[in-house]
Chain A
């Protein structure tokens, strides 16, 4: 599910949940098809969950869109018009365009790839892709212990390939493994260094 959001009075998006939560705050207004109006992210269950917030019930239960003063902030054409505009336009505040599934006038310049790294053929229910620890894996291979490091890089690759195939549990397992092997590599290198210094001190103490 992809959401539009408001930043500096501009409509942005749509973004997948994973990308969205890196860009917004809990009180950022968001919208996706099916919602009656722009809502704070913290009041959208899926987003509150993804952002690790306690889900809050919406404050206004009157049944009417709340943003009477908000609509005066946005410029735009006829508020009842469902047509797409060619330039960027703010949502009208009286509900969204139902037919296209988009709020009024999405601007192509503000829309992003539909199929980013997290959006794939398999529906992932808004779950976050686990970190593949690639950076740590590279460091652990070049600077530490290459056997364990290479295993770590391979596991990191599998995180992405499994996730793309919809094998979410397997992806999570490979993520844990990638981290584990990177840490093993680093620990081995540290042990070698410690042993090396112990050896040197021992040799020096014995007059070698």
Chain B
């Protein structure tokens, strides 16, 4: 298990905890501040989206891989955990297609020759 891996005298759980705390602070800050502190560089909506998604993935990986031991457990557990992701992706696809702009504004590679995509 992860406690056998040590860095600076502390086990992997401790460092995972520190990383999770840091990234939580980072995502709250990204939303709270309109510009990067001590600069005049604006934090755009797109940047906030990017930060929230990337930080979410990092935190999710940290919890699942280390706290839930998926990194050390047999792969069948990871596959079990990832199974619903297939349905989540289907749902996201459904969200994209049922959104008002989901058909007309999608890039061409997403709308494979659907006539109504342009005529609607």
**A interacts with B:** no
What residues make up the interface of B, taking CB atoms closer than 8 Å to A? Answer: none
Binding site for B on A (CB under 8 A): none
